[in-house]
Structure 1
Amino acid sequence: MNPLLRIFLLEWIPLLWLAWLLYWLLGAGRLKAVERRESRLQRASHGVPLALAVLLFVLPGHALGALAAPFIARSWTGYGIGVALVALGLGYAAQARRHLGANWSATVTLKQGHSLIRSGPYRHVRHPIYTGMLLAFVGSALALAEWRGVLAVLLATVALIFKLRREERWMLERFGNDYAEYRKASWALLPGVY
């Protein structure tokens, strides 16, 4: 294969993540005022493992020793499936964020005039942004085909579950029975599983 074409093809996943990050940063304006926000220590409890997960993908393999060993045979098929999962996951997360509108925040936050969103991506999944992010992590790990990707997925999963549990407590405090009913009628992350 032409070396330039190979480099272009291998850059799809970083490009998708960068496009998503740019969308995330540009969409941070026009949000409702914050009423309650988690502390820095609380933010670190899920932010640090998530940052470590990202680092596992971006650090050079030679710096990670055995974590850079393949867990499956590398192939263009696996890479292509990984790219598709990243695109699907990040697209789903972006759609969920757009649907959430002015209620969105990167941290666990309650807004002034916070609304309980139960439509669109939130109809069946209470945390579709996290679902999309985890799907993108799985796709990245599959495309990379190294043990560090598996560890990154595990770290991201633990971090996001920890974060969503705090969100769930706050939403129950704010919306009471409405949120309890929503919990009964929906899944936290993955329909049929969790």
Structure 2
Amino acid sequence: MNRTIVIFLAFFVPVLAVLLAGLGWKTLPDNPLGWFLFVTGAVFAIGVVIVLWIRRKAIWQPRSGGVMTREEKGDRSFWLYLPGAMAAFFIPPLEYLYLPAVLPRSSAFAWTGGILVILGCTLFAWARRTLRAAYSGHLSVTSEQILVQSGPYRIVRHPAYLGYFLMSLGVCSGYSSLYGLISIPLLLMPGLVYRIRTEDKMLEGHFQDQFRAYAAHTARLIPGIW
């Protein structure tokens, strides 16, 4: 595991998670999405401490077994994806708490955001459960890895990323965050597109014709669009 990733996961993620939980808690009296941020932050903080510090498991590597045949050196796509992922979750509550409203803070925005968050969480959990041991935060392929094509992967090749995109859009909408919504095309999507292209190239190099046949009838992220 890359040393920089270890330091980030072990030290910075728990701190950021606690800050996110705090922002969620502070917005709770006025916005129900505060519960989502509070629970997400608390789960990440506790989970990282348990897995890395107590159980000492390498959560950044796949558990599918076999020899690693391909991997992304330096986790470049993760670092490009990270700023947008953080912006979509941190900017909305900060804007909600400390800046004057630009978009109307109405129940319509709150309900829309809540529905998108629920859909995103459901899709993300479904994708994660379908992948099981093939899941890895580090882009890599092992000799015993299989090309998962069941569950949500029958429709799109990256349903977990689609789930996170929906969650991000939901948080920004639910908090009526103009700057959060702007951060999605400016910060989140470029990093996400780069990571998806990198992952697809790696999978195609390993699975060859099997992946090309799979890619021919599935969208990368959004059916009918891309």
What TM-score, normalized to structure 1? 0.81
Residues in 2 aligned to 1:176 and 1:32: alpha-carbon distance in whole angstroms:
19
* Partner SS for 1:6: coil
Residues in 1 aligned to 2:192 and 2:75: alpha-carbon distance in whole angstroms:
15
* Partner SS for 2:133: helix
What is residue 39 of structure 1 aligned with on the other side?
A: 73
Residues in 2 aligned to 1:99 and 1:23: alpha-carbon distance in whole angstroms:
24
Q: Could you tell me how far 1:61 is from its partner in structure 2?
A: 5.4
Structure with more relative contact order (C-alpha pairs < 8 Å, separation 6 or more): 1
- Relative distance call for 1:31 and 1:133 in structure 2 (3 A) is same
Residues in 2 aligned to 1:130 and 1:136: alpha-carbon distance in whole angstroms:
10
* Partner SS for 2:149: coil
What is residue 77 of structure 1 aligned with on the other side?
A: 108
- Relative distance call for 1:190 and 1:16 in structure 2 (3 A) is farther
The AA in structure 2 aligned to 1:178 is: Q
What is residue 215 of structure 2 aligned with on the other side?
A: 183
What is residue 106 of structure 1 aligned with on the other side?
A: 137
What is residue 36 of structure 2 aligned with on the other side?
A: 13
- Relative distance call for 1:136 and 1:49 in structure 2 (3 A) is closer
Identical positions, percent = 26
1:171 counterpart (198, 203, 217): 203
| Aligned 8 A contact 1:16 1:87 in 2 | no
- Relative distance call for 1:165 and 1:52 in structure 2 (3 A) is same
5+ residue gaps, structure 1, are none
Residues in 2 aligned to 1:96 and 1:185: alpha-carbon distance in whole angstroms:
18
- Relative distance call for 1:112 and 1:56 in structure 2 (3 A) is farther
Per mean C-alpha deviation after superposition, the further-off stretch among 173-182 and 5-14 is 5-14
Count of aligned residue pairs for this structure pair:
187
- Relative distance call for 1:85 and 1:61 in structure 2 (3 A) is closer
| Aligned 8 A contact 1:97 1:129 in 2 | yes
5+ residue gaps, structure 2, are 1-26, 52-56
The within-5 A match list for 1:1-194 is: 6-7=29-30, 9-15=32-38, 17-18=40-41, 21=44, 28=59, 31-33=63-65, 35=68, 36-40=70-74, 42=76, 43-57=78-92, 59=94, 69-70=101-102, 72-154=103-185, 155-194=187-226
Structural RMSD (CA): 3.1
